Structure 1
Amino acid sequence: MVMMGRTAEALFWIGRYTERTENHARLIDVYYHIREERESGSGQIWSRLIDTIGDRAVFNEQYSSCTEQYVLQYITLDKNNVNSLLACTNHARTNLRNIREKMPAELWDIMNGLYLWLKEKDVRDITSDSPHLFYRFVRDNLSMFHGAATSVMPRQNEWHFIEAGRYLERAENLLRLLQSLCLDYAKEEVSSYPLMLSVLKSVSGYESFRREYADTVNLTNIIKFLMLHEAFPRSISYSFQALERSLKSIQLEDPELNMTVHKLAKLAGKVKANLACMDEEDILSGKLEMTLQALRESCNLMGMRMSKVFFPSREEVIA
């Protein structure tokens, strides 16, 4: 199947940016509720959100203090923050517009509508009514987008490139979240029950975790569940499994490009196999942070190789 590099680039980054927007909207919503439950520690909550989603140095250059208004503006509506919800939605919309003739009309309608809605908002629209409803609306629109894509897109290269971008982004987002969790735990900043649960809720894994571990909420079980569970669709293991499947399914006429994609699929399969060999002792051995960093480096390597081969014309934003 013939596919121009420009089209492959747009599809891959549509997958990444839509996943990133949904992930960040969920994370903001969860942390906002933590702030309401722990009013005395709200400054710390906002600070952690900046470190997880944005760039502290950039934030400090633009804003005088770490307040609710400034942080919500920065991570939701700030065009200068490349990882804000508005910026990510705009990037996904732009890529979709560039290949609009190749994609189902429903996808453009959903993404364009979400961007135009976000573009007209300011931070008072978030805080004056219900922050939960605001971020739920963003998540629901992204769910509609992925649902429409799943329902109507032929399982051809276009679909597989979007899925490859989506699951690579999902794995990278979760690895960053787990690194933040381990760092805060080491500082004894995540010793409370609500904060521990926030990590599970931020990936919509709370109910699935409870069915697996009941009330035994601790760092080891959370890491095991989010890293190694092969059936939970937002685990690292599942993400690499889906990434491998998507890359294997891409079929190109150029033999060299085809070989490159299949090499990347083998790399994803290797990571998945290494995860399958991990057990509780590996998690408790003190090497967890090294493992998480190595996995993030694997994600970066796959992203850079995809960019170098298929779309070297420009660099998109790696979160």
Structure 2
Amino acid sequence: MRGQCRRKRRKAEDALLRLGRYEKRIKHSGVFLFSLLSAPFIICFWVISQCFRGVLKILYYKPYGINPKNKARLEFEVARNSKKMGEEKIKEVRSTVVEQYSISIERAIYDPCKRDFVEGSFPRMKEWLKRYDTDAYWLVISLQNDMDTTIEEWDIDLEFSSALKIKEVKIEGIEREIPCEMHLKSFKIAVPKEYGIVIPKGGAQQVYFKLRAEKPKTQYKIRGVFKSEITGDVPIRPKEFMYLCDADVSPVAVKAELKKTFSEKEAARLALSFKTVQELDRMSNHDAKTEEYSDKILTLKNYTEGFSEKFTTQVNDFSRFMEQEQMRYLDDEYKRKVRRFCTNLVDVWISEFLKG
């Protein structure tokens, strides 16, 4: 009996073991079948996700030039481009501020040989120069304040060739001396707030720079910068002009220029005649005697005889005028006439002997 029970128990255990194996096979088959059926869906989802990532790169990364390979790289690129955008925004704001706080700058060159400005018409500036000095070259800078704010403190920095010099500076309507710094190839004026020389809102200031050059008949260029706390640095556009000659140019420099057109002997005579013209021009600013003028005119005739009919006519007219004047010293009315004769002599001499 016991043997039969053992056999029956063993058969039951074997049946249960086989049943467990069948259950595992069924489970594995189910998982396999589920995997097999869900695989297309998984592949489709993966394809869709990759397409979505590609579209995201085109729409988001491309405008910033980013090609991220990992998260850290992406964060770095985004941060860098955010900084660039910030800097561009600052520049845009600064540009807007400069437009709001603007100043218009006009510049002109007065040529004593023309007795007028090289370009443009500036009657008010011309009247000021007539009262001060029309025998020199001048750079005039007009500063027009287009803002609703008064500029109380301001500077002008100029740059130019080393052969050009600025002898003095004047501000229209201001008698006091303006602080300035002179260096080789540069000149600077600084108008402090304490001086009270403001550029009023909607108003203007004219600044006059007296120019000098040792070499006549030379092309020069002047540029610069206007500075103030309100406007920042505003460039003054370059201005080119021909410095032909004026009454203060050295006769030695004139002779060097004359030798390009005339012989050595002729250039020497004409250089001496220019020196005589300069002496007459200086005499007209002082109480010179009538006979002193007559002596200089005679000397001038000897130097320039046969060179220019126009200049000879001018000298003869001056000589006849002085012969009619019998007084030992000239009165105020005749001084003005003599001054005009001397000025005309300078202009005609330059026109006849240097412009050619």
With the length of structure 2 as denominator, give the TM-score of the two structures. Answer: 0.28
Q: Report the structure, 1 or 2, having the larger helix content.
A: 1
Relative contact order (alpha carbons < 8 A, sep ≥ 6): 1 or 2 greater? 1
- Please say which structure displays the higher CA radius of gyration: 2
Q: Report the structure, 1 or 2, having the larger strand content.
A: 2
With the length of structure 1 as denominator, give the TM-score of the two structures. Answer: 0.31
